[in-house]
Structure 1
Amino acid sequence: MDEQQEREIRERIGALWSEHRDLDDMIARVSERAPYDQLQMQRMKKRKLSIKDQLSRLENMLIDDIIA
């Protein structure tokens, strides 16, 4: 992996962490309001999980490169 690819991965990781935090905030706000839309909550949680999976894959790409 060259420096450009590593930089792009790190930028993507930063963007995903930002989106993950935003989803956390939105989930907290929506859950404070009663009643709240269960479907909307479920979609946000599913998206948050998907982001976490993407983060794991990208971070592993960087770690594998360091070890090798």
Structure 2
Amino acid sequence: MTEEEMRKKLTGLKIEHRDMDAAIDALTSAESLDQLQIARLKKRKLQLRDQMSMIEDYLTPDIIA
């Protein structure tokens, strides 16, 4: 995977992460709270965050000071 592809993937993950926030907010503000669905979305959101962190770590050069 090239650096450009990784940056595109990172952008897509960030968008999906923001969408998860919106979906979780919508479900928590709804009349009928579906706790299982909310838990699944939160778990997916954490997985996205982990993937984003891995890509960001790879793209950031190690600088020895």
The answer to whether TM tops 0.5 is: yes
Structure 2-normalised TM-score?
Answer: 0.90
User: Which ranges of structure 1 fall in alignment gaps of 5 or more residues?
Assistant: none
Task: Give the total of aligned pairs.
Answer: 64
Query: In structure 2, do the counterparts of structure 1 residues 67 and 8 end up closer, same or farther at CA, with 3 Å as the change threshold?
Result: farther
Corresponding letter in the other structure for 1:23 = M
Q: Which amino acid aligns with 1:27?
A: I
TM-score by length of 1: 0.86
**Whole-Å Cα distance in 2 between the matches of residues 52 and 27 of structure 1?**
15
| Greater helix content | 1
Find out whether 1:8 has 2:29 as its counterpart: no
Unpaired runs of 5+ residues, structure 2, are none
